[in-house]
Structure 1
Amino acid sequence: MQTFARLLQSLVAGVLLVAVGQGVAATPAQSEVSWPQLPWTSTEPDGVRASAAALAEGIAGTVLWSRQPNTVVPIASITKVMTALVVVNAGDLERTITVPHESIAYCVRHDGSTAGLAPGEVLTARQLLYAMMLPSGCDATYALAEAFGPGQHGFITKMNDTARQMGLAGTHFTDPSGLPVPNDDSNSSTPADLVALGLRAMSQPVFRDIVGTHSYHLPAGPGNREHHWHTTNLLLGDYPGAVGIKTGYTDAAGTCLLFQTVRAGIPLIGVVLHSSTHGAVAAREDAERMLDWVYGPIFSALPIG
């Protein structure tokens, strides 16, 4: 508990400086500021149902609490975070991509979620990123992987190469969407690895803007139909300070959520894996319990809104 309290004390130091205002400004540089005692009453959040989880401060990624942090488990569509990172790192997001017919068959074959794309539609890579990350469109994922691989195998190789370069030893991909291909345990990672992946992805402004978007309207154009895409992340627009990131679900992975929040300048990032066997609400509630465990005492102790 003492280690946790010291870590959180340093995390909120900047916020406290703002909160006490002129009192701190008038303190001589050599004087030692006395921080208020922060009232944490438990060493872990209550009621988290996820079988594996982690919560970290959102700057360096120092873990504040975890459950099975290094256990390798399936991660479902959280896989799309790595897919997006590979595409964003490649650049050229205004290039046009024709949606292959196979992208639709791929979704049907594996019962994947879609963005409602039609074969032959022409969208930019940036637009396809919205189609992939908001409604978790596996059709958009296939189109992006095909274009940036080139080909599915080439793209999956890039995903695994990026994971290796990042030191994500517990992470392995076999499909760009996170579908159970070739089996239920494919596309796997650990809570600790996913926190690191989330931090890296959120350091990219393009990625951060996309996953922080609640809904996206693409008007009909010469090469595409009209589309309305809405995020599957129930924290966005519901939990104060939520800025992303990605949901996931398969039978093996259960409901999953990689999330980030920033409140009063305090960033937190976390993940819950297999919160329940169905229903995104359970993952959102797990995330909220973890976030409230940190933010609740901070906001009760500080004279800020």
Structure 2
Amino acid sequence: MAFDALVPKKAGVLALIAAAGVSLAPAPADARPAAPTDRQIAAATRQAPGGLSALAWMVTDADTGTVLAAKNPHRRLAPASTLKTLFAVTVLPKFPADRVREVSAGDLAGLGAGSSVVGVHEGGRYTVADLWRGVFLRSGNDAVHVLAAMNGGWSATAREMQQTANRLGARDTTVKSPDGYDTPGQVSSAADLTAFARAGLADEQFARYCSTLRARFPEGGADSVQIENTNRLLVGSHGMAHYPGMIGVKNGYTSKAGNTLIAAARRNGHTLIATVLNPQSGETNGVYKEAGSLLDWGFDHVNHPSPVADDTGPAEDTP
């Protein structure tokens, strides 16, 4: 097995996906979960969680789409690598995991300065599964570039991601760079990123990759190295404990976006998603601590059906 499952190995992928509380089969594109409506976000009956510094955040019941609480859910902000969730929802179903790609110089052309990489090299041969583990565990922009090249190119992939976002009702998102690299005009929102996570978790492969703790990269290669998921709530690293029931989904950071995180966890029959964008506290591990607080609050309130309102009006762009 190429990953450290969250369940005993004999239980296999099916038990992992069941434990994640997601479907065992990919959902058709037109049946994937859509972004929450303004009406879902607007009804207010309780006090929302306090003490959070993020510019925008949202906690949602992944199974029903009910927004339990939100602040600035439609504020358009730089998403950093959380946008890779939309990339995966768009491209992941297209190529079999065992397909091999010999990487060319063109595949890696345009890789942004300072990009996070997993170590894809020109002339190397990688399976599609290797590349997706590079995307999900190490947030490798090099792996994204190779997969986008397989998908018809960088610009074509960005256009297709935009179409996927539109189909999901994610109207706050503008895609310019499929890997989430800071690019003028590229924005998303807590509401949209949550929708991408819900759509992704409905896919068996996405759920498996985003919950993988460690893997060999490339798998089976003589020069392979162990890579570890950079989601500190999933792994329990860098001063953060493993969050009970954590599934994934994706973290990110750029100088423009700050720290960003989509975190999903399952407890007592409920799967919740907390999306946190750009905490302002300056605290070490702030994005993880705020996501954990939102999940704790959400699990305390998920059995009460009335959602909590956000405190914003229409969508706005980041300054």
TM-score of the two chains, using structure 2 as the length reference: 0.74
Alignment match, 1:178: 180
Equivalent in 222, 225, 246 of residue 227 of structure 1: 225
Equivalent in 130, 133, 151 of residue 130 of structure 1: 133
Query: Where in structure 1 are there 5+ consecutive unaligned residues?
Result: 1-41, 300-305
Alignment match, 1:8: none
Q: CA deviation at 1:277?
A: 8.2
* AA at the equivalent of 1:165: R
**Per-residue deviation, residues 203-227 of structure 1 (Å, max 9, x unmatched):** 00100000001111136656x7313
Give the SS at the match of 1:128: helix
- Tell me if the contact between 1:46 and 1:289 (Cα under 8 Å) persists in the aligned partners: no
Root-mean-square deviation over aligned CA pairs? 2.3
Give the SS at the match of 1:73: coil
Give the SS at the match of 1:134: helix
Alignment match, 2:43: none
Alignment match, 1:197: 196
Alignment match, 1:210: 209
Task: Quickly say closer, same or farther: Cα 1:49–1:133, change in 2 above 3 A.
Answer: same
How much identity, in percent, do the aligned residues show?
28
Residues matched between the structures, number:
253
Partners of 1:118 and 1:280 lie apart in 2 by 33
Partners of 2:299 and 2:190 lie apart in 1 by 21
| Larger CA Rg, structure 1 vs 2 | 1
Give the SS at the match of 2:232: coil
* AA at the equivalent of 2:142: D
- Tell me if the contact between 2:126 and 2:218 (Cα under 8 Å) persists in the aligned partners: no
* AA at the equivalent of 2:197: G
Task: Quickly say closer, same or farther: Cα 1:174–1:280, change in 2 above 3 A.
Answer: farther
Partners of 1:139 and 1:276 lie apart in 2 by 29
TM-score of the two chains, using structure 1 as the length reference: 0.77
- Tell me if the contact between 2:103 and 2:121 (Cα under 8 Å) persists in the aligned partners: yes
Equivalent in 246, 249, 253 of residue 245 of structure 1: 249
- Tell me if the contact between 1:141 and 1:176 (Cα under 8 Å) persists in the aligned partners: yes
More helix by share: 1
Give the SS at the match of 1:71: coil
Structure 1 range deviating more: 235-244 or 287-296 = 287-296
- Tell me if the contact between 2:107 and 2:149 (Cα under 8 Å) persists in the aligned partners: no
Task: Quickly say closer, same or farther: Cα 1:234–1:157, change in 2 above 3 A.
Answer: same
Query: Is 2:283 the partner of 1:285?
Result: no
Partners of 1:54 and 1:197 lie apart in 2 by 13
- Tell me if the contact between 1:255 and 1:277 (Cα under 8 Å) persists in the aligned partners: no
* AA at the equivalent of 1:171: T
Larger RCO (alpha carbons 8 Å, 6+ apart)? 2
